[in-house]
Amino acid sequence: MQVWAIIVALLAPVSTMGQLPATGPPSPTVQVYERARPVPPTIKARAAIVLDLDTGSTLYQLDPHGRHAPASLTKVVTALVALDHLGLDQVVTVPASINQLPWDSTRMGLRVGERVSVRELMDGLFLNSGNDAAITLSEAATPRATFIGLMNAKAAALGMVDSHFVNPIGLDDPGHVTSAADLAKAAIELETRFPMVAAIATAPSLTLAATATHHAYNLLQPQPADSDLSRRDRSQNRVDRAGGRVPDRHGHQGWPPPAGDRAGIAAHLRRGRRAAGLRLRQRLIAAGRW
């Protein structure tokens, strides 16, 4: 009996401890967070790449080495080669070859024979994707064929292994290709060597100096982005010297006015975009094609 009493006495404190009121601060609640997986962006481009320039790591890529027509992104390499030979404050003459551009080319608004600075041409090259600015830069630096060779040499020097260029503008050609990875290398080179020009390329608009008087500046407006189609994927509605329809890069004929029917062409242009049609007519007259 005494043995059982001792056992009960020893166990009693243990059995009653659970009934004592809690003392001290409550235990902190532990919350477990799970890192969410990054969701890849939804894009309509056929190729893309996002780089972390501080670490050199690739954050996102989509067909980074696929060879595609670069369109006006060609002008990044055009600027690099031009700036190897021309100073920003150097003044050059606009060549007559700008009149040989396709009528639907994006333009800075240059006039043959006028004198403009390389800095002004960079404004037009990047802000309005001016094909006339690209031609003027290339021919001011070297003869056209030499310039194109220098573009390919520049690409090789930068390790742009997927690239080959045949013009300084970006006009479609089977031999005119590059990749997202290569364009990233060209953009990094522009930012590193010519940060002032890279700033022009990324500017949403242009702030004119009080002394700016060049007529082309009135035309330098940022082009609205099309969320569904790039400019090079739209029907271009080009016409040849005889007034016939030139197929776009997909072989589409679009509207087919009879060959030589200038009135039909002019009427088409006036529908929905009268102002654009008038500007086109003025350019064709200036070029001796109307």
The CA distance from 123 to 282, in Å, is 24
The β-bridge partners of 178 are 68
Whether 15 is a known active-site residue: answer no
Which residue in 105, 129, 138, 179 is the catalytic one? Answer: 129
Which residue in 72, 105, 138, 179 is the catalytic one? Answer: 72
Max Cα–Cα distance, the chain, nearest Å: 128
The CA distance from 165 to 188, in Å, is 19
Identify which of 207, 214, 203, 224 has the alpha carbon closest to the alpha carbon of residue 110: 214
Which residue in 15, 57, 75, 117 is the catalytic one? Answer: 75
- Whether 223 and 129 have beta carbons less than 8 Å apart is answered as yes
Whether 185 is a known active-site residue: answer no
Whether 72 is a known active-site residue: answer yes
Q: Which residues contact 154 (CB under 8 A, 6 or more apart)?
A: 77, 80, 81, 84
3-state secondary structure of 263: helix
- Whether 181 and 49 have beta carbons less than 8 Å apart is answered as yes
- Whether 73 and 178 have beta carbons less than 8 Å apart is answered as yes
Q: Which residues are catalytic?
A: 72, 75, 129
